[in-house]
């Protein structure tokens, strides 16, 4: 998908030419290998991962649990620098965390003693954002995730979907070039999930930063992703990369999405012949009634 088919960023002073001359969020992963030592023996969790994500692209990663997709995100965000190969953002090798890279975890990880506002502001503490502008930026991001009116709410007063949207606002408030989403909707019920998926799509279309989302929900991966990376476990490898050539915002009923979903599900379940897990455990099958 070429960048010019996308709508311009609303509310921006220079739509389509933010940070001219500066690469924004090009992620390149080359020859990445990662092992953990389990029970005294090294065990490979990621093997020869090669992936390039274009600036502004939305890439979904699907795979069975244990395929190392969350580990991959931890490496990209910089929480774990112990890997072989290369992970680079805009040419710079990733070795630690950076405000250029934001992440939303499956559990929202908002601090329970802080209000929504304070939680989001925390992300700005170590930035050079002038103090007097912070409140406005926080307010803008609360509005972005449609949580106006809940500025003073504590996390326990928010529903699961609202808390996850708040976590997205916190991750975006530093304007990262790359936003990583680690099964952000995994803990939500089906209806809330659809709602937050729509929200993520809307936010991404507004922000246009590069996003990489890990999920075990194939439909979700296809609905949001420009490309869907299908991974297989033991060790985690990229099995296939699926282009989803549909403009955003997308229609969930699109026949292409359904055809691709069947293809990916077939791919994921056929690989289960290695005798690891029941195929039904491998992938999440929403909307079974359609099949």
Partner 1 sequence: MASRPLSTPAGAGRRFSPGVMLPPLALLALWQAACLTGLFPAQVLVPPSEVARSLAAMTASGELQAHIGDSLWRLLIGFAIGAVAGLAFGSLIALSRLAETALSPLFLTLWQVPVIAFVPMMVLFLGIDEPFKIAVVAIAAFFPVALATFDGIRGVPRAWFEVARVYRTRLPDLVRRILLPATVPAVLTGLRVALTRAWVVLIAAELLAADSGIGQMMEMGRQLFRIDVVLAGVVVSGLIGFLLDRGARAIERRATRWRTA
Among 32, 46, 61, 123, binds partner 1 (CB under 8 A): 123
Nearer to partner 1 by Cβ, of 18 and 115: the residue is: 115
Count the Cβ atoms, other than its own, within 10 Å of residue 212.
27
User: What residues from 91 to 110 belong to the interface with partner 1 (CB under 8 A)?
Assistant: 97-99, 101-103, 105, 107, 109
DSSP conformation letters of 18-77:
SSTTS----EEEEEEEEEEEETTEEEEEEEEEEEEE-TT-EEEEEE-TTSSHHHHHHHHH
Which one of residues 33, 154, 206, 279 is an interface residue with partner 1 (CB under 8 A)?
A: 154
CA-based Rg of the chain, rounded to a whole angstrom?
19
Q: Which span sits near partner 1 by CB under 8 A: 43-51, 60-68, 81-89, 118-126?
A: 118-126
- Indicate whether 274 belongs to the interface with partner 1 (CB under 8 A): no
**Which one among 4, 42, 93, 126 touches partner 1, defined by CB under 8 A?**
126
Return the C-alpha torsion angle 28, 31, 37, 39, nearest 10: 120
Dihedral pair phi/psi, residue 178, rounded to 5°: -135, 125
* Ramachandran assignment for 277, one of left (phi > 0), alpha (psi -120 to 50 degrees), beta (any other): beta
Q: Which of 21, 42, 91, 112 binds partner 1 (CB under 8 A)?
A: 112
Please give the residues from 156 up to 185 whose contact with partner 1 meets the rule CB under 8 A.
Answer: 156-159, 162, 174
Q: Which residues bind partner 1 (CB under 8 A)?
A: 77-79, 97-99, 101-103, 105, 107, 109, 111-114, 122-123, 125-126, 149-150, 152-159, 162, 174
């Amino acid at each position: 998908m070429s960048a010019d088919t996308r709508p311009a960023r609303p509310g921006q002073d220079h739509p389509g030419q933010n940070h001219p001359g500066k690469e924004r969020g090009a992620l390149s992963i080359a020859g990445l290998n990662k092992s953990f030592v389990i029970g005294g023996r090294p065990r490979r969790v990621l093997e020869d991962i090669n992936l390039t994500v274009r600036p502004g692209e939305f890439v979904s990663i699907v795979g069975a649990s244990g395929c190392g997709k969350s580990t991959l995100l931890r490496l990209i965000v910089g929480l774990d620098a112990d890997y072989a190969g290369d992970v680079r953002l805009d040419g710079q090798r990733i070795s630690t965390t950076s405000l250029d890279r934001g992440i939303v975890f499956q559990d929202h990880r908002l601090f329970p003693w802080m209000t929504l506002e304070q939680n989001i502001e925390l992300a700005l503490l170590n930035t050079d954002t002038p103090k007097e502008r912070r409140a406005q930026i926080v307010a803008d991001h609360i509005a972005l995730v449609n949580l106006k009116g809940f500025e003073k709410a504590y996390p326990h007063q928010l529903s699961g979907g609202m808390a996850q949207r708040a976590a997205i606002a916190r991750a975006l408030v530093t304007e990262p070039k790359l936003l990583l989403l680690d099964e952000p909707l995994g803990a939500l019920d089906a209806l809330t999930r659809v709602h937050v998926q729509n929200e993520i799509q809307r936010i991404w279309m507004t922000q246009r930063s590069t996003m990489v989302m890990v999920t075990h929900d194939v439909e979700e991966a296809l609905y949001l992703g420009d490309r869907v990376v299908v991974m297989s476990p033991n060790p985690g490898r990229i099995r296939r990369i699926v282009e989803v050539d549909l403009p955003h915002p997308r229609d969930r009923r699109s026949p292409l999405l359904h055809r691709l979903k069947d293809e990916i599900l077939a791919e994921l379940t056929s690989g289960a012949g290695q005798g690891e897990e029941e195929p039904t455990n491998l992938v999440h099958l929403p909307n079974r009634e359609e099949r």
